[in-house]
Amino acid sequence: MVDVSDKPVVKRIAEAEGKIWLQPKTIEKIRRGSIEKGDVFSAANIAGILAAKKTPELIPLCHLIPLFKVDISFDVSEKYVTAKCTVVGECKTGVEMEALVGVSTALLTIWDMVKSLEKDEKGQYPHTKISEIRVVKKVKKLLDE
């Protein structure tokens, strides 16, 4: 791991987002709340939060840092769902990896929740994909700002 012991503790904020592309029939069932496995966004929300908190266990050289807030939100369009993960902490290193792990896990959870609807007759996923996972915002503030 990189030695960050000499760095000051500052407020860190990172936002990451990504998309899961789904068939229109799946999007409609999500909107109606009629997915057999249950509430897609509740499950994806909790999964994303838990994953962000476990980032150092998943990415070997990430620092274990206290997180003050992890927020997952969703926006549904006609062809895809966008998930966004915002992470806040006061620490010596950034929280981008936590935001990326949170949004990735939220998207994977959505896939898991709807996979029975997305499979074709051969059991494949020709229309389903996760894409555009990226950090959209990174903020670093001194604690007295």
CATH number at residue 104: 3.30.70.640
Q: What is the pLDDT of residue 145?
A: 66
pLDDT digits (tens, 9 = 90+) for 55-72: 999 999 999 999 999 999
Catalytic residue among 3, 6, 71, 112: 112
Is residue 4 assigned to a domain? no
Q: What is the pLDDT of residue 143?
A: 82
Question: Among residues of the chain, what percentage have pLDDT more than 90?
Answer: 96
- Is the pTM of the predicted complex or chain greater than 0.85? yes
Alpha-carbon gap, residue 26 to 128, rounded angstroms: 10
Q: Could you count the other beta carbons within 10 Å of the beta carbon of residue 14?
A: 24
Is residue 114 assigned to a domain? yes
pLDDT digits (tens, 9 = 90+) for 99-134: 999 999 999 999 999 999 999 999 999 999 999 999
Backbone angle region of 55, left / alpha / beta, with phi > 0 → left and psi within -120 to 50 → alpha: alpha
Residues 19 and 82: beta-carbon distance below 8 Å: yes
Is residue 130 assigned to a domain? yes
Is 112 tagged catalytic? yes
| Domain total of the chain | 1
Among 91, 138, 139, 125, smallest CA distance to 20 is for 125
Q: DSSP letters along 80-97, please? A: EEEEEEEEEEEESS--HH
Is residue 109 assigned to a domain? yes
